[in-house]
Homo-oligomer: A and B are copies of this chain.
Amino acid sequence: MADTTEGTEAADRLESALTSRIDPGTLDEIAGLARQVPRAEIARLVHTSTPLQSAMLFRVLTKEEALDVFEDLPPAYQAELIGNLREPEVADIVEGLDPDDRAELFGELPASVASRLMKGLTPDERSMTSAVLGYPKSAIGRYMSPEVLGIHEDWTAAQAMEVVRARIDGPETVYLLPVVGPGRVLRGVVSLRNLLAADEDTVIEDMVRDSLSTHALTDREEASREFLSHRLIAMPVTDQEERLVGILTMDDVLDIVDEEDAEDLARGSGTEPLDRSYLWSTIIHLVKSRIVWLLVLAVSAILTVQVLEVYEDRLDQVVILALFIPLLTGTGGNTGNQAATTVTRALAVGEVRVRDLGRVIWRELRVGAVLGSVLGALGFVIAGLVYGWAIGLVIGLTLLSVCIMAATVGGLMPIIAKKVGADPAVFSNPFISTFCDATGLIIYFTIATTVLGLS
């Protein structure tokens, strides 16, 4: 803490900064000044400023400072501060920051403040309020139920049952109950079933069992997939200090997963997910969901025109070569998509990790070689019988090479996408097709030039 004279001076400057219009720029200044001002002074400012000012001032404190200030306030002022934090303007200002800046400027709020802030809100209000808590849209904290019944580890089973009964009509889930120690630190869970089965005098501490939990800032999809893959019925959510701030229930998780699945599926075929049902979407909506990807893909496909232009004179010499272009590019695209879909799924369910890249490439090389040998042999015979053995050889060798190339690229792309932090589904099928088309054509004409002795 700074010395008193400096502190008073800073307090004056802080007060004047607060009275100016608050925007992300002044917030930085306020945060800097608040660090130099004694806590008692800040507490005074918090409950004498206008609602918006007091809320923003409180919001720029570090978690520890915020807890101290909050605990120093008389209960009536505490309630008022919670009310101020709920002001829509506070949400707007916090939401208006970049997630990075927000994380840097604002810490999490203390668990006790956070949970009181969220009590008794409608889902809409809650979504607004959780912005104030500093949770970005992708964080599970946005979706948890903050109204969680925390059982204390030193209660008896009978005391716990009494609390459950008293809140049996509330909105909280009661089938899985998080157990907390001093300072709301999560200790584990007890199920209502265990509680009913237990002897009345059993202390909760002796029946608590470990539970998977997640941090409020964890990515919403990651937390949801873990929830589902462990077949949980509820999962406690904590802040960075393992204090209980909420609970995730099955309906929250299913909403998230439905949305993510729809998004992945749409992206995998080059569309943006629709925000309303198909028959309710306007034509313009449907067009918008498709046009961007279609344009990007069509522009990428100009690559294939340019590749073919390079080989235009070979095509002119042996026009028969043109007949096989759709067959060869189609087969390449199919092989690539098969590999990409398999690997994308394996990544999603955790069977393959980014560091397995080498193993995946080696597998897909061999799978592609086997697939290519079968298709190539067939292509050699059929094309050979119809168009002569030289053409047969070109087609056979091209199918072999294209399958190896496409399977490898298809297996590689989703892992690279994941490595650079992109959504594997976006990167995958349509792009792989286009990439394999262009590469396949180069392979085709290189083989044709050599085998047929063109120049």
Contacts and interface: CB of A to CB of B under 8 A. Distances in A.
A103 interface: no
Interface string A229-253: 0010100000000000000001100
Contacts of A360: 278
A390 interface: no
B233 A342 contact: no
The complex is assembled from copies of this chain, and their number is: 2
B338 A293 contact: yes
Nearest to A325: B325
Interface in A266-280: 266, 268-271, 274, 277-279
Interface stretch (A76-84, A93-101, A111-119, A315-323): A315-323
A351 B304 CA distance: 38
A270 B337 contact: yes
B326 A294 contact: no
A432 to B, nearest CB: 10
A345 B430 CA distance: 18
Contact of A338 (B290, B341, B345, B371): B290
A2 interface: no
Contacts of A291: 370-371, 374
Contacts of A319: 312, 315-316, 319, 322
A398 interface: no
A266 B196 contact: no
Given A345-B262, A433-B333, A374 B295 contact: yes
Best-surrounded residue of A251, A304, A374 (most CB of chain B within 10 A): A304
Contacts of A315: 319, 322
A283 B434 contact: no
A283 B330 contact: no
A271 to B, nearest CB: 5
The interface size bin for chain A is 35 or more
B343 A375 contact: no
B375 A298 contact: yes
A330 B301 contact: yes
A361 interface: no
A326 B273 CA distance: 27
Given A196-B164, A352-B278, A370 B283 contact: yes
A326 B326 contact: yes
Contacts of A174: 193
A356 B279 contact: yes
A389 interface: no
A444 to B, nearest CB: 11
Given A269-B429, A330-B437, 20 more contacts: A164-B196, A168-B193, A168-B197, A231-B250, A262-B345, A268-B341, A269-B340, A270-B337, A270-B338, A271-B338, A278-B351, A278-B352, A278-B360, A279-B356, A286-B367, A295-B375, A297-B330, A298-B375, A305-B326, A337-B430
